[in-house]
Amino acid sequence: MDYRFKILLVGENHSGKSSFLRRIIKNKFKLNYNNDDKIKIKKVTYLTNKGYVTLEFTDTIGELRKNEEYYSSNDSCIIFYNTLYKLKDNYVKKTKESVRARNGNIPFFFVGTCIDLEHKNLFNSMINTKYTIFYISSKSGDGVLYFLNYLIKTLTNDTEIMLNTRNI
């Protein structure tokens, strides 16, 4: 069986949205990434043990008010934040309200991005623990495969589906 999902990526400027996409699509990382204030839509198709999964990502820019026209017709939303800063409850609340108003009760995922996951513990005291947060490093790729598998299992509602790691 083949699946297709639209996923909205949101987060403040420099939270790692575009770096995440570059990692999963090109398997590359660019340290000095310049934000170009353009919303990008990128598709990636993965082979799984149960067929193909196509994920269509909408990579938004940091400011909520500039993104709202893209908040409709999504199957999921990933909220990114840089682990150097605290995940802000007010930002999460406004984002969830705006996205849910246009999509209903879709699943939300929280991704904390950092350069190196070995330093993740330094930031644990700075995060709000009422969210399940996935830590990834777009630089090294650490945590990305684990998160993608979790995302796909949740969206397909199939705990046995697994990405074929040869195509990542």
| Summary mean pLDDT of the chain | 80
The pLDDT of residue 162 is above 80? yes
Give 100 or 120, the one with higher predicted confidence: 100
CA-nearest of 7, 1, 108 to 53 is 1
27, two tokens: 């398997």
CB 136 within 8 A of CB 19: no
Which residues contact residue 2 at a Cβ distance below 8 angstroms, ignoring those fewer than 6 apart? 51, 52, 53, 54
For the structural domain made of 3-167, what CATH number should be given?
3.40.50.300
Q: What is the pLDDT of residue 64?
A: 57
H helix runs in 14-103, sequence order: 17-26, 64-67, 89-103
pLDDT of residue 35: 63
The tally of CA atoms less than 13 A away on the side-chain side of residue 28 is: 7
Contact 5, 75 (CB under 8 A): yes
**Could you report the per-residue pLDDT of 56-82, keeping only the tens digit for each?**
998 887 665 566 666 778 999 998 887
pLDDT tens per residue across span 113-141? 876 555 554 444 444 455 677 888 888 88
The pLDDT tens digits for 31-42 are: 666 665 667 888
Domain edges within the chain: 3-167
CA distance 168 to 144: 10
